[in-house]
Every structure is written in structure tokens, then in C-alpha cells.
Structure 1
């Protein structure tokens, strides 16, 4: 009997290990689910905002807001100096370090607001847009307000409290949309877009104060400050490069082609960027705390990376493929005839969206395993490619900018993808093959749409119904193709779904 005790204990600990593994999977799935809910609400609110406001506001209002956001987005990069990521990733977090991060964020936010206010008139002169001065002055208020809760939000993310964060972000996003539409209907013009940003920030700040139990103390440690700056410098510089990549096109178009052309380009860019940015944010935001906890287990990080990469590809490929195929019908039905030029730009920007979705996942890997210097170098390469592309493409108008932007992203994809595989000791060829199934399924979807679109539109006279029918047919073909091409992934999804149900019953 005594000889059987070690065997029984081994079985017991093995069972506990299996339950722990299942719990971690369910925890990751729960995080992804809540982040997805939050991002879906953001996308929905943005689509409502764009759809409604585009029919009320003139195109130059979007051009003016794009100019203002180009400046404020740059300032946002230095709002936390990478400290929030350090709070999420740091192995041993202390109250002294969090307080130091908080007071650093508050000080930097106030300084940035003052700097932005002083720069408002020179920036308006540089853009040759007088109304930009007042817009920037009002938007500068956002920084000290949001700086009060950066550490609180980071701590909630570190603890994977994504259900709470989802509620906060949904309320803030929808509240901002209601405020913007109300102001637009009242004739506020460009100020309806400004008011949307201010109201969303106020709602987020108030809710984070209520949701977070953390309270700051008057502590500021020089040693903790060195830790925060050392860990955040590369990340802040990388964010600066990403900003230049994403905003230099607005600077170039606004300067050389005017606010009208910039408004058209900004709308096309939003259509491409909204779903992709929110998709990558779901995976990246949910995985960063988990990958950081496993940063010393390279094999585990590699498995999570490849799975998340395939999920991103499985969603981004049909989404951007559908945008590419139905771009003209979508623009005409949703935005109206004033925006028809947007569909021409989506010819190039839809493939860019897919490439950026795949590339974005590499950044999370570099941060989680502490290779931010490599990430910075790759970012510098990508920044040089894309800035050069914008400066060359502007000679052929906004469509030339979009075409050159696509070429630069295609070239930049390969080094980012290859180095991420090398860092995780993953076979490069196998990692590429990881994307093949969703790409083939998307190709079958586009082929079927080219064959059945004429038939559907012939029997359905209503343009809206015909558009939805074509989209539904494409989605059905893609879903069936994905099951046939990737049966193991479908089986794994069913197992995960079963685990989620079991977890819900267990909690009850």
C-alpha cells in the first residue's frame, strides 16, 4: 500500500498540472474575448460616427481633424515614455515603482499640454490652416486628463482585468459618438469631432478612477526612474518611428495637395486601418501580459505566437479581401457619391491592411522577450522605407501615395517576419506555411465572388440587400473553405469552446 502512494501522488500532481494548463488556456481565451468585445464596440462606434458624420460634415472638416490628429498623435507617443508597458511586463512590481511611474506620467502630460498649447499658432501657420490653432489648443486638454490614469489602466491590464476595461471602453466610445453626433446636428462642424475626443477621454478617466483600487502615494524613486527609462527608451523611439510611418503621409498630402485631398485619403485610411488596428489590438493587448509572464520559456512563447498569427491571418485575410472586392459598392452605399475617390485608394490600402496585421504581431514578441533594441532597428528600416515612399508617391497624387505605401509595406514585411521567427527559434518556412490556409481560403472566396456577384445583383434590385447578400455569400464560402483546409484548427476551436462552457458551469 505504501508503495502505491508515490504513484498516486504523481497522478494527483499530473491531474493538477492538466487543470492548471486548461485554466491558463481559459484565462487567455477570456482575455481575448473581453478585449475583442471592447474593440468590436470601438469599431461599431467608429463606423456609426463615420457613417453619420460623413453625411453631415464637409470633407475639409475631416482634413482639419486629420491635421490636428497628426500633431496630437505625435505628442501622445511621449505621454508615458513607455512606462505603462514596463508596469505590465516588470517581473517584480513594487508600490514605489508604480508611484514613480504615475508622477512621471502626470508631469510629462502637463509639460506636453503646455508645449502643444505654445506650438498651436506656429503649427497652424505651417499647415496654412488658421482654424487649426484653436483646435490644437482645445485638444491639448486631453493630455493632463488622461495622464492621471495611465498607471491604473496598466495595472488592470497586468492583472488581465479585461472585462472591467471592456466595460469602461465601451461606455466611453459610445458616449463620445453620441456627443459627436449631437454636436454635428446642432451645427458645430469640426467641433463635433473635437468634442468626441474630449468626452471619450473624460468618461474613460472617471471610470478608471472608480474601477482601480490602486492609490498613489507621494513617492518618487531615482532608482525606479532609471528602471522605467531604461525599459521604455527603445519602446518610445519605436513608437515615434511608427508615428512617422502612419502620419507622414498626412503631413505630405496636407502640405502639397491640400485639406480636401487629405480628407479623401484620411477616410480611405480609416476604412483600412479601423478593422485591422482593432484586430491586432485584441491579440496584442491580451497576449502581452501572458507572454511577459512566460518570457523565460521560449518554446511556450513560440507556440502562442504562431497560433495568434494564424488567428490574425484567418480574420484579416478575408476582411481585407472583402474590402478590396466590394470597395466601390461599400463606399457608394455607406458614404455617398462625394467619397467615390476613396474606393480607388482602397485598391492599394486593402492589401496594406493585411500586411500590417501580420507584421504587428512581431512587435509583441520583441517586447515580451526583451528584444526591444532589435524591434527599434527593424522599425527604423520600415520608417525609412515608408517615408521615402510617401515623398516619392506624392508626385502622382493621393493614389500615388497609396501605391507607394503598399510597396514599402510589402518590402518591410519580410525582415520583421523573419527576425521574429529567428528570435523564437521557429523554422521560417514553417512559419510562412502557417499563413497558407487562410490565404488559400480567401483566394477561393474572391474567386467565388467574382462568379456569383453578377447573378446576385441581377435578381436583387435593392442595392443594400444585394451588397449584404454578396458579403454573406463570400463569408460562407470562406468559412467552409477554412474548415476544409484547416480541420485541426477548427477542432481546436471546438475544444476551446467546450472548455469555456465547462469553466462557466464551474463558476456557477
Structure 2
């Protein structure tokens, strides 16, 4: 693995990494704050989504929002050229090279916004959604805001300051939700999401600037800029490919099946992302920084990745099984009868969500281990295989066919490719199998209990509650043997 160099020196500086026990405490504390933050924010977004879907917006408007959000996410993956990760990964004081990072990020995001502003009508037309042009122009203002906010946010991530991040995210949520709801009930349609996102991002930028004072200082050092771009551009490419994997289906559905079908698909995909966003997002706010501290020791990295994967999978499997097995009654109960067609795609998308959690953790681990070339190859292979499969799936089976196409590509190609890349980084199959064995076994038992109870009791709301409780109880019992491993108890192989 290549040594990690600071941008203003030719050799790696002595690491200021804390001792392992101190690092462990910081990671655990940060992970706890991050999980609380993510759960609270996602529950708030969940409640907001219910209000909008039931009383303000229909499937077509959700479809326009989904397209605009997809374009924004893809552009966000490239808007700071990947150099922001240097604030987390490089040794030394990040404030020495933060001004160059800020200049690069602000310049690239400004150029990207100018490009999407003029290209918005063309992009919306290609995606068979002409009405999305104005929404795109407003929502993509977040590009410029993000290009500036990445520096203080990166410093907070490096310092494991997730308590401060929670306050910032709460400010973002309150303001963006208030603006979105007011505009949506005033009849602004999908544009309400766009202005809400802009308002929330402005608030987050202000909060990050206050939480990391002195971070918003522009500067330029050509030597630093060359080192940053050499480090960041491959990561930006891999990130762009990763987001293409997640969002290409939106473009396929929108261009092939229309805005109404896209609205149903976006709702189902968002539901399938609940476990990903609640659990994986919380973990990823500390995983890259944690893996980066372990990257010089292959054995420590393998053990850290295995335990992190075990915790994520254990927490995610029951959510995926519940939402997949009870898709129709859950959609009807939460969003109303108008949205029930979305339930047909949900079981398949829950399987994809579980794969995404493992792949995102592997992504962070491979970046920390310096395996950037492997990442780009895996992500590129994923996109190349996914596009034709999703197009065929859309034509043959609508949104269900698209969802099934995701599962086929993930199981047959993506998981083996990531396992191979992890093996090259020194993480073999044995620790990964150990991390997943008990959760997968418990998930299979839970699925049998869920289907049996559903067959016996039906789909009514009381039956739904009883079925879910029984299935969760069985899962908890079956996964108990893995508790020592998940809690990090010392064993002969890890002592």
C-alpha cells in the first residue's frame, strides 16, 4: 500500500494518531452520536414524507423530485474532485492544506453548477421530464454550498465530532422541512423540495463554519493542489460510479416508464433505503476515519472491517426482512392506498439495500487501504452490467423488473467482485463469513416465521403488529450466539 503523504511535504509526517484504546473510545463515542443523529433525522424525514405523500404530492410530482435528486447526487459525487477526503485521511494538521481544498472545491462546484444551469432543459428532456428543468436549476444550487461546506465538515469528521454534527444536521432538517412543507401545501409541487434543500444546506454551511472556526479560508498552493488532485480524482471517479450504480435505475424508469411509474419506484426505493440510511450512514460517518487509522496494519484492518460488517448486517437484516415480507400492508398503512403499487418492487429492493450496506462499508475500507484502482474497476463493472439489465427489466416487468435486475447483477457480479478486491487488501473470506453467518441464519428463520404468521393471521393492522413482533423475537434469539463477537470480546483469535 502506498504511504499517505501530506500535501506540503515529500515524506509522510509522524502520525498524530491516538493510541488504540483512545482511538477506540473516540470511534465508539462518535458512532453513538452518529447513530442517534441519523435515527432522529431519518424519523423526521419519514414523518415529513408521510405528510407530503398523503396530503400534498402525487406520484408524478414525486417522480420529478426523484429525477432532480438523482442528478444532484451524481453531480455532488464529483463537485469537489474527491479532495475533501484528504482532510480525513492525510496525516498532519488539515488546516495547513484546507485553504487549497476549499479553493478547489468552490471552483469545481461553481463550474458544475454553471454547466447544469444551461444544460437543465436538455437533461430534463432526455429523462422525459420537461417539468424538471426549473427544479434542477434550483436544487443544484446545493452543489455550490456543498463545495464550500466540505472543508469544515471534513474537519469535524476527522475529529469524530459527531455531537456537533448532530446539532448542525438538526438545524438543516428543521429549516429544510419547514420550507418544504410550507411550499408544498401552498401548491409549489416538486419545487418545494428544491427550495427546502437549498434552505437546509445554507443553514448547515453556517453551522459547520461555526463548529470549525477558521476553516473557511481560501488559499492556493500549487504543490498542494497537485498532491490533492492526484489523491482525489480517482476517488471522485469511484464515487461517481458508485452513485451511478444507485441512481441509474431512476433514469431508466423515468425515461422508459414515465413520471407516475417513477413516483411509485422512488417511494419504494426510498423505503428500501431506510435501513441503509439509518444504519449505514451512521457507520460511514466514522468508518472511513477509523479504517484510515488501521490501514497500516492488515490484521487490524481485517478485524476492524469484520466487526463493523457484523454489527451493520446484524442491525440491518431484520429491518430488510420486515419491510420486504410485509411490503403491501406497510405501504398501505403508512402512505395510503394510492401508493400500494409501489409495494410490488419493495421486497427485491430490500435485498439490494442489504447488499448496498456491505458494499458501502467495503468502499470505505478499500479507500482507506489505498485500493483506489480496484474500487474504480469494481464500480465501473457494476455500472456497465447494470444499465442493459435494468433496461431489459423495465421493458419486461416494469418497476418490478428493474428491481429484480438489481438483485441479479448484485448477486452474480458485484458481491464476488468486492470480495476479490477485499481479498487483495488482506481481508479474506473467513472473517467476512464469520461476520455474516449468524445474521443471515437468523434472517432466514425470521423470514419463515414471518411468512407463516402472515399466512395464518392475514394482513390487517393488528395481525401486522403481532407478525412483526413474533418475527423480531425469533431473530433476536437466533442471533444471540454472535453477541461476543459483535461486542468485541476477546477470543483466542483476536487476543
Question: So what's the TM-score if we normalise by structure 1?
Answer: 0.88
| 2:285 aligned partner | 285
Pick aligned residue for 2:472 from 470, 475, 487? 475
Query: 1:84 touches 1:154 (CA, 8 Å); kept in 2?
Result: yes
Q: Partners in 1 of 2:422 and 2:218 — Cα distance? A: 44
Q: Partners in 2 of 1:271 and 1:489 — Cα distance? A: 30
Cα deviations by residue, 1:135-193 (Å, 9 ceiling, x for unpaired): 12222322222322210110111111111011111231233223322222222222222
Q: Partners in 2 of 1:140 and 1:491 — Cα distance? A: 42
Which one has the largest radius of gyration? 1
- Where in structure 2 are the equivalents of 1:428-507 lying within 5 Å? 428-453=429-454, 463-483=460-480, 485-489=481-485, 492=488
Query: 2:378 touches 2:418 (CA, 8 Å); kept in 1?
Result: no
Q: Partners in 2 of 1:275 and 1:407 — Cα distance? A: 21
Distance 1:133 1:451, change over 3 A: closer
Q: Partners in 2 of 1:479 and 1:490 — Cα distance? A: 13
Distance 1:360 1:119, change over 3 A: same
Deviation at 1:420, TM superposition (A): 4.4
2:370 is equivalent to residue 373 of structure 1: no
Deviation at 1:432, TM superposition (A): 1.8
Query: 1:301 touches 1:424 (CA, 8 Å); kept in 2?
Result: no
Gaps of 5+ in 1: 1-18, 495-508
Aligned residue pairs, count: 472
Distance 1:421 1:240, change over 3 A: closer
Query: 1:110 touches 1:143 (CA, 8 Å); kept in 2?
Result: yes
Q: Partners in 2 of 1:91 and 1:126 — Cα distance? A: 44
- Where in structure 2 are the equivalents of 1:222-233 lying within 5 Å? 222-233=222-233
Q: Partners in 2 of 1:375 and 1:230 — Cα distance? A: 16
Q: Partners in 1 of 2:287 and 2:388 — Cα distance? A: 33
| 2:30 aligned partner | 31
3-state SS in 2 of match to 1:214? coil
| 2:64 aligned partner | 64
- Where in structure 2 are the equivalents of 1:76-87 lying within 5 Å? 76-87=76-87
Stretch deviating more after TM superposition (283-292 or 298-307): 283-292
| 1:47 aligned partner | 46
Q: Partners in 1 of 2:431 and 2:217 — Cα distance? A: 50
- Where in structure 2 are the equivalents of 1:75-154 lying within 5 Å? 75-93=75-93, 95-154=95-154
Query: 1:43 touches 1:275 (CA, 8 Å); kept in 2?
Result: no
Q: Partners in 1 of 2:44 and 2:425 — Cα distance? A: 37
| 2:385 aligned partner | 385
Stretch deviating more after TM superposition (386-395 or 326-335): 386-395
Cα deviations by residue, 1:111-141 (Å, 9 ceiling, x for unpaired): 1221111112222332343322211222232
Deviation at 1:294, TM superposition (A): 2.5
